[in-house]
Structure 1
Amino acid sequence: MRQHARYLYGSLLLVAPMLALAQGLPANWRLAWSDDFDQLDRERWELVDTPRPTNNSQQDYLSEQVTVSDGKLILLSENRPSRGLPYRSGQVRSRDEQRWGRWEVRAKLPTTRGMWPAIWLLPRTDKYPWPSGGEIDFMESRGDAPQLVSSAFHFGSPKPAWHAYVEGRHQSGKEGTLTNFHAGFHTYAVDWTETLVRFYVDDVHHYTVHDEEVAGFLSAKTAPMRLIINNAVGGDFLNDPDDSTVWPQRMEIDWVRVYVAEEGEAPPRGTDPKQSVLSNGGFEQNGGTLAGWSVINNAVIGNPNVSISTAHASEGVASLKIFGAFAGSPTRSGIAQGVRVVAGQRVACGGRACTIPEDTVIGSSNRALLRLEFYPYFGAATPLAEEEVAFDFAQAEVGEWVTQQIAANVPAGATEARVSVLLDQPKNEGGAVFLDDLRMRLGTPATR
């Protein structure tokens, strides 16, 4: 939410890093505090009052623009001048602060040109001058772009002055229809640990920042942060209001939940041979979603190449549809999910895939892949071991579902087993695949 970088550290990413984690937290989360907004708790929240906006935004933040109504926190933005600024709006900051944890906010966003709603984390800048303690923006949106949200991590130093950031943008869709994040309430979340930051929208993990991407800043220099929720008006991030802007606008917050990590973790258990440990492996949750999964390289803005389909399903009503990102170079797009394991445990995973006549990958160099990888910690970027196999459409009729599976033992030092399904597009060729009924089964850990 602060001034965007004049340069990027590394490259700006539209999608999650390859095979980032969706499921399985780095430790058990314990609820530290929550607010359902039955009333405005001034001991919990500071109502910001300042006519000094940042990022060339144009609002005066006034405490009177913040209210609670019908169990919702309301930030009201109005086309009324105040203290030399053309607009009024609201911002709240939590009085509690913490380093590392999980934050979840369920919100309904304003939707018109010039609105800049944001949910973010920031240290006290009187103690940690920006950006020396870091900044985590886990939801930013443009009022005239309701089908896209973004997340970012800012870092740097005030003396000598330098600032950089990395960013991921998220879209989702079903049957070619993009999700409108300004229609109704959606849940935005972030996991922050010593080694990584993971961003979620409606339980879909869309972007990860690893410590090594930001030169060790996460582990060495981030400071305890407060939760900030606001709706800025205009500024460097988006178009300013004009005659088309609809007034007034409301940003509504249904609830906030903040967690800290518990010490210690329960070991994984063996599972019934018929039981899968994956969450939402059939994509049926909430009528067909990617909830519980990490999205990989969903990079075609306006036409998600990783999405839900209800036209072709092996079981139930929904499946996963993937086509290539058409980046001009070899790409892999898909989804991933991980579970906790111990060394020596047997892991088996599998799923089903098909390709249809009107958009087949048969005859192209595109492949549908099933991967199983093992990592030293949850969300790690580099695997200790990996297995990969392609779905074989050669012996099947076009449109027929085929099955594939992988099994392997957990290597020494691994704590996460991560399964992914991907469309490998080496030559920018067309064609789509559908995947369904993804499963992972764990054997009982070996005992001494």
Structure 2
Amino acid sequence: MNTIWIALALMLTACGGDDPSPITPKPDVEVKWEITPATTQFSAKGEIKNIVVTANGDWTATSGQSWCSLTPDKGGNGQTLVKISATANPKEEVRNAEITFTSGKYSQKYTVSQDAGTIGNYVPTGYNLVWAEEFDAARLSSGKPALPDTQKWWYENLPKGTVNNELQTYVGGFRGTDTVAAIHDGTLKIIARKSGTDIISARINTIESWTYGYFEARLRVPGGKGTWPAFWMLPEKEQLNWPLDGEIDIMEYVGYDPGWIHASVHTKAYNHTIGTQKTARKEVKTAETAFHIYAVEWTADYIKGFVDGVEYFRFNNDGAGNKETWPFNVPFYLKLNLAWGGNWGGAQGVDESKLPATYEIDYVRVYQKK
């Protein structure tokens, strides 16, 4: 019996000797970065520049602005060549982006700057600014993009097929977590996107209306079969009496016809349903990749259409005092929308691989004579 207990004691002692020694944690090494060059400045037109990131550990990097991106966005111990890309600056002001390098609890900021963009001034002599929307609203406290200012704009909520057999549903800025009108980085983005089985988008309108003036917006349009962005005007008192009450199309674009923009007017006597609309088109090869200024000058005598200050459309008042040919003597309001498909936008089919599609608006401005 004593022999058995001695054997058990020896076994327990042996097992105890196999216990691993306590693991000593690795010392916390502070990760540091050295970035060359110390500062990076981009031209307004947009470009790609290289930086060299030297670190003593693994890291990731994020940009605080969508116009500035980097590749690769991670690295390790030693040197990493990183390409920073900046898109063209659509604003007449310098802008900055903050890149954050992170490794665990350690981080370091690196700021890049971009020169102010140059925007042409094409406003005719004698006109003064009376209304403007620059879409410069800051992000919300939640970090989400701001929506268009409801003191200036109102949304239309329309089911698909309501107008022109279009395929999208217009919603009031968002549906659930799907946003279709967002302001960030100094521009408004109107987005046509899939939401469940629907395609949703936005159609927004100014609360104010004007009779005569120079109306302009700086825009970049989306491409792809099915897209149909527009910047246009309808009369303030319009009661579904189209086309008698008139329509002014400052800019329309259909994605299946890339590089060509259109301006038109519609009246009872001149409209597309009877093939008599007054319209013109102009080639703008970079309409999808660059911002351009689209405008009309509307007076008691004529309506002129412009792209970047170049006139390409004109409709004259015939002076007959007939609403069927000239209904353009009452207040009109401005409209921005991105349609999907429809009689014109979908004339050659739609390509849903192009969704989401983004229509970008830098500003909208209204000028009138004193």
Alpha carbons of structure 1 residues 162 and 236: separation in structure 2 relative to 1, 3 Å:
closer
1:142 to 251, 254, 270: 254
Give the equivalent residue in structure 1 for 2:126: 28
Structure 2 residues without counterparts, runs of 5 or longer = 1-121, 138-147, 175-179
Q: What SS class does the counterpart of residue 366 from structure 2 fall into?
A: strand
Q: 2:220·2:289 contact (CA, 8 Å) conserved in 1?
A: yes
1:151 to 234, 248, 263: 263
CA offsets, 1:405-443, max 9 Å, x none? xxxxxxxxxxxxxxxxxxxxxxxxxxxxxxxxxxxxxxx
Alpha carbons of structure 1 residues 214 and 35: separation in structure 2 relative to 1, 3 Å:
farther
CA offsets, 1:215-256, max 9 Å, x none? 854656543111000010001113365456411111110011
CA offsets, 1:9-54, max 9 Å, x none? xxxxxxxxxxxxxx994x7111111011122311001122221531
CA offsets, 1:373-396, max 9 Å, x none? xxxxxxxxxxxxxxxxxxxxxxxx
What is the deviation of 1:162?
A: 7.7
Q: What SS class does the counterpart of residue 166 from structure 2 fall into?
A: coil
Alpha-carbon distance between aligned partners in 1 of 2:244 and 2:313, rounded to the nearest angstrom = 22
Alpha carbons of structure 1 residues 93 and 243: separation in structure 2 relative to 1, 3 Å:
closer
Q: How many residues are treated as equivalent by the alignment? A: 227
Q: 2:267·2:327 contact (CA, 8 Å) conserved in 1?
A: no
Read off the aligned partner of 1:195 and give its amino acid letter. D
Alpha carbons of structure 1 residues 66 and 24: separation in structure 2 relative to 1, 3 Å:
closer
Q: 2:226·2:351 contact (CA, 8 Å) conserved in 1?
A: no
Are residues 1:165 and 2:280 paired? no
Give the equivalent residue in structure 1 for 2:97: none
1:197 to 285, 291, 303: 303
What is the deviation of 1:180?
A: 2.4
Structure 1 length as normaliser, TM-score?
0.47
**Structure number with bigger Rg:** 2
Read off the aligned partner of 2:354 and give its amino acid letter. V
Q: 2:339·2:345 contact (CA, 8 Å) conserved in 1?
A: no
Give the equivalent residue in structure 2 for 1:352: none
Are residues 1:235 and 2:347 paired? no
Structure 1 residues 189-268: aligned runs within 5 Å: 189-212=295-318, 217=323, 222-239=329-346, 241-243=349-351, 245-262=353-370
Give the equivalent residue in structure 2 for 1:118: 230
Are residues 1:62 and 2:171 paired? yes
What is the deviation of 1:98?
A: 1.0
Read off the aligned partner of 2:191 and give its amino acid letter. L
Give the equivalent residue in structure 2 for 1:95: 207
**Which runs of 4 or more aligned residues in structure 1 lie more than 3 Å from their structure 2 counterparts after TM superposition?**
124-128, 161-164, 213-222, 240-245
Q: 1:133·1:223 contact (CA, 8 Å) conserved in 2?
A: no
Read off the aligned partner of 1:34 and give its amino acid letter. A
Are residues 1:43 and 2:141 paired? no
Identity of aligned residues (%): 28
Alpha-carbon distance between aligned partners in 1 of 2:216 and 2:336, rounded to the nearest angstrom = 12
Q: What SS class does the counterpart of residue 318 from structure 2 fall into?
A: helix
What is the deviation of 1:213?
A: 9.4
Alpha-carbon distance between aligned partners in 2 of 1:243 and 1:137, rounded to the nearest angstrom = 25
What is the deviation of 1:128?
A: 6.5
